[in-house]
Structure 1
Amino acid sequence: MATEERLDSTQVADPRPAFSLTTGRTRGYHRAAVDTFLAAARTAFEGGGDLTAADVRVASFPLVKNGYVISEVDAALGRVEDALAGRAREQSVREKGAGAWVEEARAEAQVILDHLARPKRHRFARTGVLTFGYRVDEVDHVASRIVRYLRDGEPLTAEQLRGAAFRMQRGGYREEQVDALLDATIDVILAVR
């Protein structure tokens, strides 16, 4: 006679993890935190939550042994962000019309261009000489690519900006300002896809 097993709240119905797991000393994203966040994202995409593309972009998870492989989760989060941004664009176009949506994206692009019109090495506030910030030359290189994308239509993807990483230097650019501009540029890229 077969017995029926019940799952309590600590057991998982599907024992397979959603992503590959790290091994050895490599740390990965906390599995439960990622799973919970992605469940909330799925609910939001299906119309039952208020999670936005911007929320996905700034999501962070604790690093643990035997966690999810970071690159796999980040790639999935990029797809989720794209999907939520597409959903927001469709809703806004339905409510306001395509012309208003394009005008909002154009206005945001102009704000970014105005900011990046500052001379190289002076595009963002700097940290003090004893404090680390993003390397100025590396940020300026990415900023120049953003300008060429917005002004000249040169190719640039949200994935490339999401993957932008800068080494640190004393007296470098303030991280929060650079990150905010990258986020605004990603919003523009996603708006015009």
Structure 2
Amino acid sequence: MPSESPAARKPTARIPRCAQAERGYDVAQVDEFLAAVHAALASAPHEPGDPARGLNSTQVRATVFAGARGGYRPEAVDALLDAAEDALAAAERERCLRARGPEAWQEHLDDLTRLLRNRLDRARTQRFRRPSRPRAPGYSAAHVDVLCERLGSRLEGAAPLEPAELRRAVFPPAQGERSYEEQQVDAFLDRAVQLLLASR
């Protein structure tokens, strides 16, 4: 059984709250989700690609909470979610190694690497789709490309890059040929975080 991370503890009042006039994360939603994280870690999380066994690391990263006055402070909850994702990813790796062996885990890593490389190897400003509508806002292609090149260097072992830098990446808005579609970039970064965690 994986060791319990700080994020795996049952929800308590120790998570700092916003002042009543400020908006934070909805307390009930956060408590319910952290309880699910606790249960997932206590019951040995599933292997990558097996959604039938409960909460997984990628679901943690995709979680969004409603806003509420006097709710939990977002930065505190986000830190707990980062720790939860790290712990679940580590548990998934150990489970796969025990059940299927190192060859299967390496195949999983190779598949993720190929997926990312297919996009990283494209030319600058051509790595992702443009927004579907001409005036729709997107992410600045130039800024996304800089992060993509850092990721490429990380995959080659030439430079460090931590999952937290991808989780917290913020790009200036842009339109037209200078922009990338936000959803496609976000999905790519999710896969990149998954690979960096799996490679630890």
Secondary structure at 1:64 match in 2:
strand
Q: Gapped runs of 5+ residues in structure 1?
A: 1-15
CA contact (8 A) 1:134 1:166 kept: yes
Aligned to 1:106: 110
CA contact (8 A) 1:134 1:173 kept: yes
TM-score by length of 1: 0.87
Paired AA for residue 195 in structure 2: V
TM-score by length of 2: 0.84
Q: 4+ runs of 1 displaced by more than 2 Å?
A: 23-26
Secondary structure at 1:131 match in 2:
coil
Task: Count residues with an aligned counterpart.
Answer: 178
Aligned to 1:184: 191
After superposition, the CA RMSD in angstroms is 1.5
Give the % identical residues: 35
Aligned to 1:59: 63
How does 1:8-27 map onto structure 2 within 5 Å?
17-23=13-19, 25-27=21-23
How does 1:36-115 map onto structure 2 within 5 Å?
36-47=32-43, 50-115=54-119
Paired AA for residue 165 in structure 2: Q
Once the two structures are TM-superposed, the CA of residue 129 in structure 1 deviates from its matched residue by 2.4
Once the two structures are TM-superposed, the CA of residue 167 in structure 1 deviates from its matched residue by 2.1
Residues 1:33 and 2:40 are matched in the alignment: no
Once the two structures are TM-superposed, the CA of residue 151 in structure 1 deviates from its matched residue by 2.0
Distance 1:110 1:44 in 2: 29
Q: Gapped runs of 5+ residues in structure 2?
A: 1-11, 45-52
Distance 2:23 2:112 in 1: 37
CA contact (8 A) 1:102 1:192 kept: no
Distance 1:18 1:189 in 2: 30
Distance 2:172 2:14 in 1: 31
